[in-house]
Structures are given as C-alpha cells and as structure tokens.
Amino acid sequence: MNGRRTIAATAAVIILGTGAVAGASAAQAHERNPGQGIGQGKRPGPGGPETGHKSQVKDRWLEQRINRTVTETAKSDLKAAMAAARTDFKAALDAAGDDATARAAARDAYRSAVAAAILAFDTATLPADQLGPVTDYRAAVESATETLRSAVSSAKQDFKASTADAQATLKEALAAATNRDERKAAFAAYREAIQPAREAERAAVNAATNTFKAAIEAARTALQSAIPQA
C-alpha cells in the first residue's frame, strides 16, 4: 500500500472511531504546512480542529455522555493555551530545521501541551465524579492512537526494507531499457516482485486498525461503566 494512502486511511479510521482530537495528528498536519490544519477548518478529528476550543476537546461520543458546564473563562483559557501550544510548536519546528530528533521532540511537546490544556478545560467544566473517568478515557484513546500510528509507521518501514532489492533492480532495468516496452516490462516485474510485501503491509495495517477499534470500544465501555448516569 502506498505510504500516504496508508496513513490517510488510518487517519480516517481514527476520525470515524473517536471523533476526538488526538493532538499528534494535528501536530503532524501543522508540521507539513505550519499555519494550516490547526485552528482552521470545521472537521472535528485529527488534523482538522475547528477554530477556538470546540473541536480541540469535543469528542462527540464523549460529550453525549458527560455533564459539562462551560464558562467563558474556561473557553478563553483553553483558547489561550492552544494558541500558545501552536506558537511554541511552530517555533520549535523552525529551530529544529531538518533534525528529525528535534522535530519529534517538538511534536511530543505539542501533544503534551494540548493534553494539559484539555485536562485543564475538563477540570474546569466537568463534575468532580466525572473528571477521573474522562481523563482515563482520553488517555486510553491517545494510547490506542499512538499504538496505531506506531504500527502503521512500522509497516511502512518494513515494506520499504523488504522491497529495497526490487527497487534497485527496477532502477537498473530502467537505466538499461532502450524502449518503452522494456520500461513497461521493468515496472511489471517490479510490481510482481513487491506484491508479497504490499500484502504484508496491508495485513499489518488491517490488524493494527482492528486492535485500535477494539481499544476504543474498551475505553468507551469503561467510561460508561464509570459514569452510567450520564
């Protein structure tokens, strides 16, 4: 499976599975194009939070099961915290340049800042007996999302490693090709050679997706058990 399509399909699973902002996906979208994808658009879920506080914290499934009392102060505090997180993230990315380790650290810091802002918002707007279960639920969703993200990344890397020889053979064949038919034959041979790796990647992503869905369902069940009155 093409790497970009793999990530896009997986992100769609996250959106459909939770309707919640995972923080990291928004950070990744912002890294690709700082200023876009964070605080813009109207689609809730990873990569498309709405301006202000609403989609930054609103998991639609969750919101239907809790008793939240939102004040203007809570909203403004969350908005300010999110704005600061975005500003710090952009500055960290600019400072990191092409340093992959530094960019990863910037994403981690952004996730932590978003999580802290959401926790503060939940603390200010939820009944005391619901705060703990909601915090646990959010942690479970984030853990499931990170596990899924890691599994997809690993599947992509495994595909890349297992098709390296085929890539090299393709390059050699194309360099030696003298006409269109020979180039077509080279690509056909390449596609056949990588098919097992492609199927393995697809199977790994499907398994990770199923694990993710199960984890989300378990998190939801736990929340409903903890606050059955909601």
Q: What is the tens place of the pLDDT at every residue in 153-176?
A: 999 999 999 999 999 999 999 999
What is the rounded distance in angstroms from the CA atom of residue 216 to the CA atom of residue 147? 12
Angle between helices 128-162 and 3-18 (to 10 degrees): 160
Residue of higher predicted confidence among 48 and 15: 15
> Any idea which residue has 């997180």 for tokens?
85
Confidence of residue 18 (pLDDT cuts 50, 70, 90): very low
CB 75 within 8 A of CB 53: yes
Residue type, 218: A
Number of residues in the chain: 230
> Any idea which residue has 């813009």 for tokens?
40
CB 102 within 8 A of CB 95: yes
What is the rounded distance in angstroms from the CA atom of residue 147 to the CA atom of residue 211? 9
Assess whether pLDDT exceeds 90 at residue 15.
no
Q: What pLDDT shows up at residue 45?
A: 35
Confidence of residue 27 (pLDDT cuts 50, 70, 90): very low
What are the start-end ranges of the E strands in 51-186? none
What are the backbone angles phi and psi of residue 111, rounded to the nearest 5°?
A: -60, -45
Confidence of residue 94 (pLDDT cuts 50, 70, 90): very high
